[in-house]
Structure 1
Amino acid sequence: MSQLLSTHGLKAWYGDFQALFGIDFEIRPQEIVAIIGSNGAGKSTFLNTVMGVLAADPASVRFKDQPIGGCKTHRIVAGGIAMVPEGRRLFPSLSVEENLRMGAYTKRPGPWDLKKIYRLFPVLKEKRSVPGTAISGGQQQMVAIGRALMSNPELLICDEISLGLAPAVIKEIYAALAEVARNGLTAIIVEQDVYTAQNMSQRLYCFQEGRVSLSGNSSDLTHEQISHAYFGV
């Protein structure tokens, strides 16, 4: 299997408004791929379509060589894809530990459990009885990542996980993700920070107005190429 996940001419709509125009994308096992682009470029729409939130032709999204376009989100998660959504979306009525346990509802077998999450993010063990939204933004992001890992995914999708966080916290979170990746997890990261995206990934896609404006090996792409693809100038 050369690709873990791929999209082929992927299109998406919000009602009559077309948001994606034929996206071709692929990620191989144990690879980190970054997606960059300005606000409104189609990044979150792409992720939501992959996750089944938006309708798609079945053959336009393939996971482990099986068509999953338009599948129900809970089936996609049970099949091995987990997403850390923009804004974290924790349950305010649940504690940190209860939020983490919510990620394990699919009962997928795998290495991730509470013990491993607490080893990855020790501060969460200290805060495990605190309401999930009563901790700092960075700690909430750790909970969101931990919750996704608790589903034991083969592919982890992270949507703007650095948004609104202090640089030191961003560094800590991405160091944890790098450790997770070293243990064999495949990941898609959506980032507005180009420097972080390039440094964290093997390959990079730039989206502009619902289309892929640039793709290639992250280390090979120049500032000029990325700037042109990002801003269209």
Structure 2
Amino acid sequence: MTTITTRTVAYPADGLTMIGHLALPSGTGPRPAVLLGPEGIGLSDVERRRADALAERGYVALAFDLHGGRYLSAPEEMLARCMPLLADPDRMRAIGHASLDVLRAEPRTDPDRIAAIGYGTGGAIALELGRDGVDLRAIGTVNALTTGRPGEAARIRCPVWAGVGSEDPIMSPAQRDAFAAEMQAAGVDWRVVVYGGALHAFHHPPVDHTVRPGVGHHPVHARRAWRDILGLLDECLPLTE
């Protein structure tokens, strides 16, 4: 297995001190980089392991924080923080930019070769960075077919891949259609993969706390979604260029 280096990074965003997880590949030269955002419950070992897996492949990876180092396992607390956040594109962009600044400041990062991927709220933030005109090589989201302010999707400068469960009650067929219409009208290179039978957060391993109805793990589709994300990175952010 490739030797990687990891460390926590503290940085200010949204009035909080965020605690991200940075994973560095072996070697010394600049590498392509991936910004990785968590579900609304917050940064956990799930995203840290994904960042580590990306570093093992050769990427610099930063799993960013949403809640100042906290993991919001209570659904009511998570919704109380995330719903206002998801309704405020400028707040989402500020969190995304603060995280992106940390990633760009890492000497191993090639600042011209960065992708953003995310899950749920973290995916919505990745999309808002695109709508803000950030120079990204790719945007990938799971459970985050969120639409933005009118016309701003035209500022997205890279391919967009989105995955969603067919039985996700939060990202409904109507929401999927609205997202597709926004991307198409903006001339974005976009695609949506619908994973049959999967619920919301199907990618996330089972947790030991209460979850909202309509949320559930689908191990087969979770593996497929990860392979699809890696395929997006292979296409848009190749390790040799």
Shorter-chain TM band:
0.3 to 0.5
- Choose between structure 1 and 2 for higher RCO, CA contacts under 8 A separated by at least 6 residues: 1
TM normalised by structure 2 equals 0.33
